[in-house]
């Protein structure tokens, strides 16, 4: 075995005893926290958009913009070597939730 290769931990041992796994998990936890904060900020902004659309009597959904966003983000996904199908599903989930919030804002303004 080379001096740069580390042996794999015993699968029967506690995963918390594995420093490499713990480091990976810490990074994942940090990224998850950042994602939550980014999503919270995004939804604060889209909430304001929904309220604006309701006051301006604009429709909750904008299918043309949604399609442009999906196309743009699929391209970004490919550049980032992230599965564009996954990215589209994730974005569609967010867009659907935003539209739902916009519909709620519109029903409150009626």
Q: Is residue 60 part of a domain?
A: yes
Q: Is residue 23 part of a domain?
A: yes
Q: Is residue 4 part of a domain?
A: no
Q: Is residue 93 part of a domain?
A: yes
pLDDT tens, 33-69?
A: 999 999 999 999 999 999 999 999 999 999 999 999 9
Number of domains in the chain: 1
Residue 36 structural domain: 18-109
- Model pTM greater than 0.85? no
Question: What CATH number corresponds to the domain at position 22?
Answer: 1.20.59.10
Q: Is residue 28 part of a domain?
A: yes
Determine the distance from the C-alpha atom of residue 69 to the mean position of all C-alpha atoms in its chain, rounded to a whole number. Answer: 14
d(CA 28, CA 65): 32
d(CA 43, CA 93): 13
CB hemisphere CA count around 56 (13 angstroms): 10
Neighbouring CB atoms inside 10 A of 61's CB total 16
């Amino acid at each position: 075995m080379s001096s740069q290769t580390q042996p794999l931990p015993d699968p029967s041992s506690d995963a918390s005893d594995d420093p490499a796994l713990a480091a990976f998990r810490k990074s994942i936890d940090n990224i998850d926290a950042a994602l939550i904060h980014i999503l919270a900020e995004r939804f604060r902004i889209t909430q304001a958009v929904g309220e604006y659309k309701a006051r301006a009597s604009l429709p909750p959904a904008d299918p043309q913009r949604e399609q442009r966003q999906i196309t743009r983000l699929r391209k970004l996904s490919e550049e980032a070597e992230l599965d564009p199908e996954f990215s589209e599903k994730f974005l569609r989930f967010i867009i659907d939730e935003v539209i739902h919030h916009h519909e709620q804002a519109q029903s409150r303004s009626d």
